[in-house]
Structure 1
Amino acid sequence: MAKSGQMHAFYLGIDTHEEPIVFMRSECDICRAEGFTANTRLQILTGDKNLIATLNIVNPSVLPPNHIGFSDSAWHYLGLKRGQPVRVRHAPLVGSLSSLRKKIYGHELNALEINSIIHDIGRRFYSDIEIASFLTACAGGRLSLAEITALTRAMVNTGNQLHWPGQDRVFDKHCVGGLPGNRTTPIVIAIASTAGLMIPKTSSRAITSPAGTADTMDVLTEVDLTLEQLKRVVTETGACLAAGGKVGLSPTDDLLIRVERALDLDSEGQLVASVLSKKVAAGSNHILIDMPVGPTAKLRDLDQAEKLAELFYGVAAALQLQIRCVITDGTQTIGNGIGPTEEARDVLAVLRNSADAPRDLTERALYLAGQMLSMYSGDSESAALEQAREILYSGQAWQQFRRICGAQGGLKEIVDAHYHSELRAKHAGRLLKMDNRRLAQLAKLAGAPSSTAAGLRLRVKVGDSIVPGQPLATLYADSAGELAYARDYFRQNRDLFEIDIEQ
């Protein structure tokens, strides 16, 4: 019989998507003595580590007597070994939950209250339900500028912070998203770092889109770098194009993003804090923000974009950052590819100056690179744009991109999807517009971004003349079921390609 709540760790190999879960037998002596039931919040202690986890009750055949099973995330967070002794007890009161309830009822939080919430989330003291409650309470413009600033600082303080001795200006670039195919970042970073800018670029994987920059770069090179690897790559090449997961920059933000993804939620205040906390943690202090605006983009109109830009500028001023927000055209998809692999093909085509490189992606990347170069040099935007063109068209950007990828582990071979299908027009006419949100949904139903080869390749652009039977796009998937599911969605949503039908 176990004494004083002591049990032995048992690895069950269950992926609970980062939420810490533990499993105990229904006839366990400790369960009966302590009154533990399914969904009880427990504190697990071992050595100098502890976390709070949710209890699931299992059939006695699943676990040996006097053993407690762990989900993958709980096991790895505690650094357990099979059979290791652990202590189990009722979870203590999490003090910051009172601050969470205060926010739920619509009250403003001070910096100390926000810091305590973020600190406890980082220590794995919050369940996914509690994290979702926090995110929901902060959505819909319910965070003040002071709260967003405090949230940004709190998220920076939960993880590693990079410093670049001798560099007083360190750059970064971010797009607020909502525009499929807008994969300008790898191109911009290659151009700008060629010109001498230091850019320790880390990116998140997709939250609500069919691909994030990290997903696309993962098709082309290694992106899951350790902190030391990231420092080495930046020291060698002046830049990197890495995922943010392993380096531990604002790690609590990664926990929030995981739940945001499940909620399909990306609120303004949380977005600003997420973006700027990771830039500050990476040591960047000069940041370019791309803000696409369009009727089916994340930012629907100019008023919404200006409101978000005001929040960015306000928090940046409080944190002593130099930023530039640029409002760009978000009325239609950029490039021809949607999904990690198809967007990677577009990135390579632009960098290689290929004849089939999408012109809209090329021009957009050049414009943003020119904006960043102008921030760096103080030159006029037109002069900086011409410098960006010279770097791209001379092949210097491609050479620099290869250097960065080489330092990160080398360029990978692009792998094709197993299945594809042409999505064809029924009628003749002219393409008036495309629905960005439903195009993104179509790519996600095909399996993107978890299946990196899944997605779309557009065959038409707004303004093109269409004939019956003409391919509008090619749909890619890694399973026949996902392909069929996505095709059904297209059949029910043909108007996502709005065609002015000829009479």
Structure 2
Amino acid sequence: MAQGIFFFVVGPSGAGKDSLIEGARAHLEEAGRYVFARRTITRSAGAPGEDHHGVTEAQFRALVNAGEFLITWEAHGLSYGLSIDLLTALSNGRNVIANGSRKMIRELAGLVPRLIVVEVTASVDVLAARILARGRETALQARARVMRQVEPLPVDIETIRVSNDGALEQGISRFIHALANATERLRLRRVPLSTGLERVAYLPMHSAFLSAADYLGSSKVDLLAEGKSLSVQIHGMDAAALLASDEIGLSEEAFAHWGVAEGAEIALRRTPSPASRQALMQKVQGQELGEAEYEMLLRDIIEGRYTDGEISAFLVSATRSLSDAEVVALAKVRTRFTPVMHWDRPIVVDKHSMGGVPGSRITLLVVPIVAAHGMAMPKTSSRAITSAAGTADAMESVARVDLTAEQVQRCVEQAGACIAWNGRLNHSAVDDVMNAITRPLGIDSNRWSVASILSKKLTAGSTHVVVDLPYGPRTKLKTQAQARELGDLFERVGAGLGLTVVAFATDGSRPIGRGIGPALEVRDVRAVLANDPQAPRDLRDKAIFFAGQILAWDPAVGSVEVGRQLAEKLLTNGQANAAFERIIDAQGRKVPVLPGPLTYSVRASVEGWVSELDGWRIGEIARRAGAPADKSAGIDLMVGQGDQVQEGQCLYLIHGANAADLDSASVLARMSNGVTITPLL
């Protein structure tokens, strides 16, 4: 025999829980399917209110000691208890309805076979009016009582909501209807219809158990069975041959994905939960949300319970109004959707750059410098989205980067560090959903980005993080003031997360290094590590600056100045170069990708001096040549900003391995090559 459901009724004072329960008793108790729990309370049995078993405090304690209660709680100076006998009713297949306290939900969920919370609600004005009608409180007291903060309902426990802000008969009808929907089960059937990526369930239009029309629309519904849930879009079906009146059908793809046996009993739950939808609406209206609300919202968004339009509205609002506390809350919540790496070290360091500067591959220098000193740096990096190379793209030209968490652990043990792709490590399911909407709409938010970035540092197990914030005409941050403001936010939010974060505004007005594209950038890195006199000085200097900041976190180093001196020493004596080779071996050495054999020379049209290098345009040309997918493709800069050039002198070489891509890049360069030359007077 299937066990019954425990309906735990909660709601604020004045919501009318007792009235709804008594109204339902009159309609349902005689049939014998429901048991209406009679609470034991430490007040006299003749007191106004619900029908209860009144006892003294001493009698209540004696019942507790005798094990007579399933649960007990304290409220308003009274003790409440529900009988242990209710478990027997549940085991006999009867459903229990009990008036309770929301603070006991979690405990009760662990004691009964299936718990459904019934939240009875009403507007603030209705609640206050009902409390006033009792004649026990003033208008001010009643208002204060209904406005007080209440503990949010657990997001992982099935909840149904009943509005009771109208006539009592209407509220009772809603309450009974909610109970019926929860108790009537449908049998699962596989429907021979294909819906592609969309997960669809079908309800018979003339069901004897529920109204299919109640579930149609854009909102999704959760199916519950065998401890599993599946979020689906509901469609109606009027075909008795395919779907009986007591069945629910699943499309071929949804059935295969869920893995629940055909014929299983299915329960339906509307999604998102009322509490989740209320949180979303509050954010859309610009209100501040807390950690629990963001966890509930992001989980529903990831699991497909909101439409793209609803997510877009939420994101647009979130880009406009996120407090520091909300950024901290978002970062904490995001870590719960990604595995966290743990390290048995007091200091684990990391570096992040907001990017936008072509050729600035300083991470491939900072990591081996830090590793050469003996500090742990499990660096996880992204691939390029709009640039000619990301850190992972560049590293992949010499080593494997698609590492598992276990392989990262091994690399750090062997080499002190790694430079891995974050796609297999702290890849964010939240970003998958959000980016699919934000990128086409052009939605961007520095505050949202800070939460995303620092959550990934937390999941990587970092304790100390340095942040590079380039600013310039073509970067994300246009001015030094914007970069400094964002740096302050990084540091404040980092402190709120228990991280040590320092951020620096850096000049992003021009490319750094000579190479732009994976193989060419690694060539520059190797030149710096090998102390080649022709190595790009700007790349070396910036790497030493950031490595010095990180090394200063070692108590044995003590200061940033000493840290910089140490970083330069580790480069000069070859220890950083040796550390880089150890990291490559630990990750899995590959035959190095060399710059593409096909080249096109972009030359100066006039004599003069280089007044501007447009890194964004030059990077675009590198991408047209095939970077970063073609790791040999890119641009080799032959001049720097401020250099004097002759007419016909080579400004840069475009490298590639595909003639068609190279031709396309050369056409783009002839239209506008990204190098501004001011003629000599």
**TM norm structure 1:** 0.81
Q: CA offsets per residue over residues 313-347 of structure 1, 9 Å max, x none?
A: 11111112111112222221111122223222222
Structure 2: state its 5+ residue gaps. Answer: 1-186, 207-211, 235-249
State the match for 2:666 in structure 1.
Answer: 487
- Which of residues 294, 304, 307 in structure 1 aligns to 2:485? 307
- Contact 2:220 / 2:271 at 8 angstroms: preserved in 1? no
The residue identity in structure 2 corresponding to 1:275 is: I
Tell me: CA distance 1:29–1:129, structure 2 relative to 1, closer, same or farther (3 Å).
closer
Residue 291 (structure 1) aligned with residue 475 (structure 2)? no
State the match for 1:405 in structure 2.
Answer: 584
Q: CA offsets per residue over residues 112-169 of structure 1, 9 Å max, x none?
A: 3222222223335456665555444333x5322111111101111111112212x121
Residue 428 (structure 1) aligned with residue 612 (structure 2)? no
Tell me: CA distance 1:313–1:483, structure 2 relative to 1, closer, same or farther (3 Å).
same
Tell me: CA distance 1:294–1:87, structure 2 relative to 1, closer, same or farther (3 Å).
farther
SS of the counterpart of 2:397? helix
Deviation at 1:32, TM superposition (A): 10
Q: Identical aligned pairs, as a percentage?
A: 35
State the match for 1:394 in structure 2.
Answer: 573
- Contact 1:239 / 1:404 at 8 angstroms: preserved in 2? yes
- Contact 1:431 / 1:462 at 8 angstroms: preserved in 2? yes
SS of the counterpart of 2:403? coil
Aligned residue pairs total: 474
State the match for 1:68 in structure 2.
Answer: 252
- Which of residues 537, 545, 549 in structure 2 aligns to 1:367? 545
Q: CA offsets per residue over residues 49-105 of structure 1, 9 Å max, x none?
A: 6555789xxxxxxxxxx97358xxx99xx5989x99999999943244554444344
SS of the counterpart of 1:376? coil
1:176-215 to structure 2, matched below 5 A, reads 176-215=354-393
State the match for 1:446 in structure 2.
Answer: 625
Question: Which stretch shifts more, 472-481 or 343-352?
Answer: 472-481
Residue 460 (structure 1) aligned with residue 639 (structure 2)? yes
- Contact 1:430 / 1:463 at 8 angstroms: preserved in 2? yes
SS of the counterpart of 2:569? helix
State the match for 2:145 in structure 1.
Answer: none
Question: Which stretch shifts more, 148-157 or 210-219?
Answer: 210-219
- Which of residues 302, 312, 316 in structure 1 aligns to 2:494? 316
Deviation at 1:392, TM superposition (A): 1.0
Residue 114 (structure 1) aligned with residue 300 (structure 2)? no
Tell me: CA distance 1:210–1:266, structure 2 relative to 1, closer, same or farther (3 Å).
farther
State the match for 1:158 in structure 2.
Answer: 337
Tell me: CA distance 1:52–1:367, structure 2 relative to 1, closer, same or farther (3 Å).
same
- Contact 2:397 / 2:631 at 8 angstroms: preserved in 1? yes
Aligned-partner Cα distance in 1 for 2:554–2:466: 11
SS of the counterpart of 2:489? helix
The residue identity in structure 2 corresponding to 1:453 is: S
The residue identity in structure 1 corresponding to 2:286 is: G
Aligned-partner Cα distance in 2 for 1:4–1:173: 51
Q: CA offsets per residue over residues 364-384 of structure 1, 9 Å max, x none?
A: 111111111112235332222
Tell me: CA distance 1:152–1:501, structure 2 relative to 1, closer, same or farther (3 Å).
same
Tell me: CA distance 1:410–1:54, structure 2 relative to 1, closer, same or farther (3 Å).
farther
SS of the counterpart of 2:676? strand
- Contact 2:610 / 2:645 at 8 angstroms: preserved in 1? yes
**TM norm structure 2:** 0.61
Aligned-partner Cα distance in 1 for 2:641–2:188: 69
State the match for 1:6 in structure 2.
Answer: 190
Deviation at 1:479, TM superposition (A): 4.2
Q: CA offsets per residue over residues 187-226 of structure 1, 9 Å max, x none?
A: 1010011111111111122244332211211222111111
State the match for 2:653 in structure 1.
Answer: 474
- Contact 1:31 / 1:37 at 8 angstroms: preserved in 2? no
- Which of residues 376, 379, 401 in structure 2 aligns to 1:223? 401
State the match for 1:171 in structure 2.
Answer: 349
The residue identity in structure 2 corresponding to 1:460 is: V
- Contact 1:7 / 1:86 at 8 angstroms: preserved in 2? no
Aligned-partner Cα distance in 2 for 1:10–1:52: 17
Aligned-partner Cα distance in 2 for 1:89–1:418: 63
Question: Which stretch shifts more, 36-45 or 216-225?
Answer: 36-45
Aligned-partner Cα distance in 2 for 1:491–1:134: 44
Deviation at 1:273, TM superposition (A): 1.0
Deviation at 1:478, TM superposition (A): 5.0
- Contact 1:157 / 1:250 at 8 angstroms: preserved in 2? no
- Contact 2:286 / 2:317 at 8 angstroms: preserved in 1? yes
Aligned-partner Cα distance in 1 for 2:265–2:680: 73
Task: Please say which structure displays the higher CA radius of gyration.
Answer: 2
The residue identity in structure 2 corresponding to 1:164 is: W
Aligned-partner Cα distance in 1 for 2:264–2:622: 45
The residue identity in structure 2 corresponding to 1:314 is: R
Residue 345 (structure 1) aligned with residue 527 (structure 2)? no
The residue identity in structure 1 corresponding to 2:511 is: T
Structure 1: state its 5+ residue gaps. Answer: 13-20, 56-65
The CA RMSD measured in Å over matched residues stands at 3.8
Aligned-partner Cα distance in 1 for 2:631–2:311: 28
The residue identity in structure 1 corresponding to 2:397 is: V
Aligned-partner Cα distance in 2 for 1:22–1:457: 46
- Contact 1:460 / 1:472 at 8 angstroms: preserved in 2? yes
Residue 145 (structure 1) aligned with residue 324 (structure 2)? yes
Q: CA offsets per residue over residues 23-65 of structure 1, 9 Å max, x none?
A: 89xxx9989998999999687999766555789xxxxxxxxxx
Tell me: CA distance 1:8–1:240, structure 2 relative to 1, closer, same or farther (3 Å).
farther
State the match for 2:102 in structure 1.
Answer: none
Deviation at 1:303, TM superposition (A): 1.2
Tell me: CA distance 1:289–1:5, structure 2 relative to 1, closer, same or farther (3 Å).
same
Aligned-partner Cα distance in 1 for 2:597–2:309: 37
Tell me: CA distance 1:295–1:207, structure 2 relative to 1, closer, same or farther (3 Å).
same
Residue 333 (structure 1) aligned with residue 511 (structure 2)? yes
Deviation at 1:262, TM superposition (A): 5.1
Residue 358 (structure 1) aligned with residue 536 (structure 2)? yes
